Amino acid sequence: MKKLGIVLVSVALLTACTPATQEKQATSESTMVQVSQQALDKATADYKAFVEEQIGQLLTDTENFAQLLKDGKLEEAKKVYPVIRMAYERSEPIAESFGESDVKIDFRLVDYMEENKTEEGWSGFHRIEKILWEENTTTGTEQYADQLVNDIKELKAKIATVEVTPEMMLTGAVDLLNEVATSKITGEEEVYSHTDLYDFKANIEGAEKIFELFKPSLENKDASLVTTLEKEFKNVNGLLDQYMTDDTHYKLYTDLSKEDTKKLAEAVTKLGEPLSQMGIILDGK
């Protein structure tokens, strides 16, 4: 960002020779800012629509998941559990901004107990995960499933009122990668089911969606950054594809070797650095 600022100052000094040139430059810059703002407005509107679509799908899928639990279909419930959660993981830049809802829907036991000192009151996806995999039954999940559906309905209503900003999206993209680097890559998210790769993929998809929406603006600012980001996203996605067992499902985290997780961690790190530079689209705003 600093380098870009120096270049812009240098260009301004070199072209400030005549009043006519200066007036032309001012008009050009004004048009550029206006178009840029329009692009940012479109990106934020499209992103809100994307998140609303994801949470709508999450609600539908969770209602079906709740019915599987009530019907005692253990293996079916286990199979769809990680796939359902991907919609939430893609949407976390907005979904997590409502702290109370995130606690109800997505808190791990270790995080919940850190705040509440006891397991009592803990709910959400990971509460159900614990019963399904640790107790190997659907019995006892029914009340948590009903509560989860209601909590997602509440989240859906909240998201409809949120004002999405470019800053929220830019910070959110980086936060998604930080989540991958701190919990998904270590297997800490899905401690009972070991389905962390689904969350990993969904976080990457969420960050990539933000990149794609900002891509037109980024190309005007720094085309080489776009090329780098496309390359690094392709690299991470290519690595994840190696661990797919079919068109939808992934290997368990516990099936990965130390070398596998090392490669994934390195790929995320290589993606994170250029991803954090997307803020250049706000230069001069």
Please, where are the H alpha helices in the chain?
A: 2-15, 19-70, 74-90, 92-95, 99-106, 109-116, 125-130, 142-159, 166-179, 196-221, 223-241, 258-275
CB within 8 Å of 145: residues ≥ 6 apart: 62, 65, 66, 69, 70, 128
- Right CATH number for 41-163 from 1.20.1420.20, 1.20.960.40, 3.20.20.70, 1.20.1080.10? 1.20.1420.20
Least confident of 4-8, 58-62, 67-71, 143-147: 4-8
DSSP lists the bridge partners of residue 250 as: 244
pLDDT digits (tens, 9 = 90+) for 267-285: 999 999 999 999 999 876 5
pLDDT at 3: 29
CB within 8 Å of 210: residues ≥ 6 apart: 47, 93, 169, 170, 172, 173, 278
CA distance 25 to 154: 50
The pLDDT of 15-38, averaged and rounded, is 44
Which CATH class name applies to 165-285? mainly alpha
pLDDT digits (tens, 9 = 90+) for 82-94: 999 999 999 999 9
pLDDT of 16 above 60 = no
Per-domain residue ranges for the chain? 41-163, 165-285
Q: Residue 215 corresponds to which tokens in the numbers above?
A: 């891509």
CA distance 237 to 270: 13
In this chain, the answer to whether the domains covering 41-163 and 165-285 adopt an identical fold is yes
CA distance 104 to 127: 10
Q: How confident is the model at residue 24 (pLDDT cuts 50, 70, 90)?
A: very low
